[in-house]
Structure 1
């Protein structure tokens, strides 16, 4: 019998990556109840990929739908609406899952009485990645001991399982206003934690993600840092992290300004020690600029 888990995938024109991921999911030791794929390409380019994996003898149904408006929130909301499992596992369409991925998430949720479980996403750099990129660890996320409650500033999607009934009480689940800027995943998880949901870490439930050549650039690293700063500031202003009182707001943005200036200076001072050191501090400067930029209403639409 399959586990009562629906795997939810929002996809957009990553046909080869999606094809490999579906192969991984259909080879899980703990097969899911179903795999739900919602295509954000209005032309339905992913339909043929699913057709190659679906057969009458398949032990795991594949559910496919199209969400034509370019908006990651609406696309993820559609996956949730189509899913019928008690648990919903979310994985990005360019990631790879080892055979024990789902079993590990489920075991951790049961062992730690969790409402949600997050796991590591390990970046895989191409062989020709520049040396400064390899030294910089720009694509790594913080890791914790298994069972550790996940701090609010580390909540994100990409490798996650949630109780479905948590989302059944929310409408909309993912905020469509964040569908082009990103940050919809952290926004949802922070709302759930604020309402009492228990999110824990599972350091063994790893997935991998290839780093595309287009991301092996300082420009991409700085833009992603800027967007992360904007996301963090919006979460703060929405009261996800602490009450956004006038005093707290003043402290938050004053600290962002000071950190922007300090990081900018350090990016210059550390350049002789290596480009990766300087790039790290430039990223910190961009993140803090991103925080400040919400004061005049600018949103970097990464997914536009």
Structure 2
């Protein structure tokens, strides 16, 4: 197996996290460096990451490509990276993630073993030592859990810590929909389409990465709003289907209303008695509410904000 491999890192104004992610990508072992390249897509209006990436490239064991995509939006950044990437296989790493040295080899081994079009791996959230309030919940929130063993899976996960076969994409250079630039979920939309087209998904249980959220995200204010936005995903996907999946939309909205009511009341009781599991219960209520309130004025934008 001698396919070219592109490691892709989209970024926007996270210099410290980007350097950690990029250095971990360059330190991969167990894969021939001649097959590798690193592509960094900078989604800042000004090319703020260019100097640091070019300096890193001067000492890199394989090519490092810097791409500047000034048009804001996470889908724009991913598409810009893929347009420049030369790999037959694309491995995605986020700019707040750090990959162990055997990460890429682990993803590739699972892809080959199960002949998978897309492989997903675990994400382990970690918070700084000074974060004490709701620490367990916050680290779990920023984690991705999955099966204990590697194998073929029916469902799909997000793009961070994933590996996909370019030939499985209907559009090999612009597969991510710009409709999701500001609200996220461009990866869910893509993988949902791939699933409908018969793509084969696999889980690499050992190919984990660390996720280090920026301090501003390690708060209930952020995670509950994000949970609400996550909840909107399945309802919005049903509404955006062609033709719209009205039965699916009714199912998710009804389920969400029940979930929001039950867990909302339970969260209130836990808040009164200061139960440690309050945050996790509130999270479930927020996801339910998002399934019900998914349209127009209720949509929350987390991505695609331009620099001032």
Judge same fold: TM > 0.5, yes or no: yes
After superposition, where does 1:165-176 map in structure 2 within 5 Å?
165-167=167-169, 169=171, 172-176=174-178
CA distance in 1, matches of 2:212, 2:173: 33
Contact 2:92 2:159 in 1 (8 A): yes
Contact 1:38 1:66 in 2 (8 A): yes
Alignment coverage as a number of residue pairs:
300
- 2:39 maps to what in 1? 36
CA distance in 2, matches of 1:26, 1:178: 30
Cα deviation digits, residues 177-231 of structure 1 (max 9, x gap)? 1101111111111111111111110010011011322122111111110110112
- 2:97 maps to what in 1? 95
More displaced, 20-29 or 172-181?
Answer: 20-29
State the TM-score, normalized to the length of structure 1.
0.90
- 1:17 maps to what in 2? 17
Q: Does 1:150 align with 2:118?
A: no
Cα deviation digits, residues 33-59 of structure 1 (max 9, x gap)? 21111111121111111122122x743
CA 263–166 in structure 1, closer or farther in 2 if over 3 Å, else same = same
CA distance in 1, matches of 2:177, 2:20: 29
CA distance in 2, matches of 1:180, 1:130: 31
Q: Which of 37, 46, 50 is 2:49 aligned to?
A: 46
Unaligned runs of 5+ in 1: none
Unaligned runs of 5+ in 2: none
Superposition CA RMSD, Å: 2.3
Cα deviation digits, residues 252-293 of structure 1 (max 9, x gap)? 212211111111111022235544422222211211221222
CA distance in 1, matches of 2:125, 2:102: 19
CA 246–68 in structure 1, closer or farther in 2 if over 3 Å, else same = closer
CA distance in 1, matches of 2:290, 2:191: 21
CA distance in 2, matches of 1:273, 1:148: 42
CA distance in 2, matches of 1:58, 1:141: 29
SS at match of 2:206: coil
CA 132–20 in structure 1, closer or farther in 2 if over 3 Å, else same = closer
CA 177–59 in structure 1, closer or farther in 2 if over 3 Å, else same = same
- 1:266 maps to what in 2? 266
Cα deviation digits, residues 119-143 of structure 1 (max 9, x gap)? 0111111101124322563323222
- 2:164 maps to what in 1? 162
